[in-house]
Structure 1
């Protein structure tokens, strides 16, 4: 299995980074996972701003040479892991900018005149690992599960990815937030992951 980890947090002392370390440890101990690549969007200095106009058409983003290596990563990956905080009820702008650029028509999907396009990333699976300050029930009851709906339906389903798993952890700025228990849960998941449960 080829695994791409897209990490989105500016601070390597953060809990998000602790989750990244444990995901890597779990992957290293799993014989099913042969190859792992990590894309640290902040360290990469990825430009999340989507710009287009008369000279640079939005319909041509899928062949932008500046994004070629990121397209290669997504094409190569069988499983894509996104690790990020929840800010204002949604992923950081840095990650959303990556999605704006990379999940483009011609690469991630193809319009067919129907309600949903032809997803060009079929066969891949996704794991979203997110942390937030608020309580775990906040997104579901206060925000109508907006984060998961956004990621699962508006994004991944649209490009043909059906297998999506969420680790959405709340109370992560609370000293009693059971941080280590949650980190261990993620580590064990990747340590035991196989293609049947992926």
Structure 2
């Protein structure tokens, strides 16, 4: 199994970065994982801003040469792991800008007759590892699970990726947040995951 990890946090001293390290350690101890690549969007200085004008049209975004490396990584991966904080009830703007540009028509999906397009990234699985300051049940009780609906239905389901798992960790800035326990949980999952 080939795994692409998309890491989205500006600080390598953060808890999100500690989760990245546990994910990588778990995958390093997993014989089912052949190769791992990491796309660190802040370190890469990824530009999340969409620009459309006379020279750059939306219908050509699937072939933008600036994004070729990421398209190749997404094609190559059997599993995609996203690690990011939840800010204001949703992923960071950097990750959303990546999604806006990478999951483009002609690459991630193709329009066809009917209500839904044909997803072109079928067969891949996704794991979202996210942290937040608020309590773990905050997104469900206060936001009607908007984060999971956005990621599972509006994004991954739309492009054909049906297997989506979430680790959504709350109270991460609290001294009682059980951070070590949650880091261990992520390590154990990636050490054992088979597909």
- TM-score relative to the length of structure 1: 0.98
- The equivalent residue for 2:22 is 22
3-state DSSP of counterpart to 2:89: coil
Q: Distance in 2 between matches of 1:106 and 1:114?
A: 17
The answer on 1:87 being equivalent to 2:87 is yes
Q: How does 1:50-69 map to 2 (within 5 A)?
A: 50-69=50-69
1:115 positional shift: 1.3
The answer on 1:10 being equivalent to 2:10 is yes
- The equivalent residue for 2:156 is 156
Q: How does 1:110-189 map to 2 (within 5 A)?
A: 110-189=110-189
The gaps in structure 2 that reach 5 residues or longer are none
Q: Distance in 2 between matches of 1:191 and 1:55?
A: 46
After TM superposition, what 4+ stretches of structure 1 lie above 3 angstroms from structure 2?
none
3-state DSSP of counterpart to 1:91: coil
- The equivalent residue for 1:192 is 192
3-state DSSP of counterpart to 2:6: strand
3-state DSSP of counterpart to 1:44: coil
- The equivalent residue for 1:41 is 41
- TM-score relative to the length of structure 2: 0.99
Q: Distance in 2 between matches of 1:55 and 1:13?
A: 40
Q: Distance in 1 between matches of 2:77 and 2:22?
A: 19
The gaps in structure 1 that reach 5 residues or longer are none
